[in-house]
Structures are given as structure tokens and as C-alpha cells.
Amino acid sequence: MTLRMERVSRIVGAWNDQLQLLEGSAVEHFRAQDLEKIGRLVEEKRTLERRIERVQAFIEAWRSE
């Protein structure tokens, strides 16, 4: 794997870690019934998931070249 792909993999790994933190925060806010914060966390999670999917698709396309 090239240096660039290793760097991208580390970034995606960090985003996945961030997703886990967001999910944990959502559970805490759910327990506190803070619906506004839950909505923001869900949107952040979706944004990160889309970003991860795009980067992973790019990586797969790059590998198949």
C-alpha cells in the first residue's frame, strides 16, 4: 500500500472512531431526553458515514486501476 493510501486509511479509521464517540454521546443524550442534541449527533453521524463511504469507494476504485 502506498504512503498516500496508508494516510487515507488512518483518516478513515479516525472517522470511524469519531462515529463511535458520536454514538456514545447520542445514548447519553437519549437518557437525558435531550432531543435537539440527539438530532445534531445523528446528522453528524450521517455526514461522517457518507464521507467514509465516498473515501472507501475511492480507495476501491484506485486499487482496481
Digit-by-digit pLDDT tens for the chain (65 residues) are: 588 878 888 888 888 888 888 877 777 777 777 777 778 878 888 898 899 899 889 888 888 87
Give the global pTM.
0.58
Domain count, the chain: 1
Distance CA 32, CA 13 (A): 29
The DSSP code sequence of 18-55 is: HHHHHHHHHHHHHHTT-HHHHHHHHHHHHHHHHHHHHH
59 touches 5 (CB < 8 A): yes
* Residue 54 amino acid letter: R
Residues 6+ apart with CB under 8 A from 56: 12
Range of the domain at 11: 3-64
